[in-house]
Amino acid sequence: MQLIKNTIEIGIEKPFTFLQISDIHLAETDENDSAERRNFANGRKGCFSYAPAFMEEVREYVKKTGCPLFNTGDMLDFITPENLRITKEFEAETGMILVAGNHEYWHCAANRFSFDDVPETYEKKNESLAEVQEYLKNDIRFSCTEINGVNLVCMDDTDYCIDEDIFEKLKKVEAEGKPIILLMHIPLYSEYLEDHAKYSLCAPEKYFENCHPVDVFERRPDKLTCQIVEHIRTSPLIRYVLCGHTHANQEILGKGEQDQIVTGCNTIREITVI
Question: Tens digit of pLDDT for each residue in 132-165?
Answer: 999 999 999 999 999 999 999 999 998 889 999 9
Q: What is the pLDDT of residue 128?
A: 87
Question: Does the pLDDT of residue 121 top 90, yes or no?
Answer: no
For the beta carbon of residue 2, count every other beta carbon within 10 angstroms.
12
Sequence-separated contacts (24+) of 253-257 with Cβ below 8 Å? 255/190, 255/192, 257/190, 257/192, 257/233
Q: Quote the mean pLDDT of the chain.
A: 92
Q: Which residues have CB under 8 Å from 16's CB, separation 6+?
A: 147, 148, 150, 272, 273
Question: Does the pLDDT of residue 114 top 70, yes or no?
Answer: no
Q: Which helix (H) or strand (E) holds 123?
A: helix 122-133
Q: What is the pLDDT of residue 118?
A: 62
Q: Which residues have CB under 8 Å from 62's CB, separation 6+?
A: 19, 69, 93, 94, 95
Question: Does the pLDDT of residue 210 top 80, yes or no?
Answer: no
Q: How confident is the model at residue 201 (pLDDT cuts 50, 70, 90)?
A: very high
Handedness of CA 187, 192, 197, 203 (dihedral sign): positive
pLDDT tens-digit map of 164-177: 999 999 999 999 99
Going from the C-alpha of 216 to that of each of 13, 21, 38, 212, 243, the distances in angstroms are: 45, 27, 30, 7, 21
Q: What is the pLDDT of residue 221?
A: 82
Identify the DSSP state of 188.
B
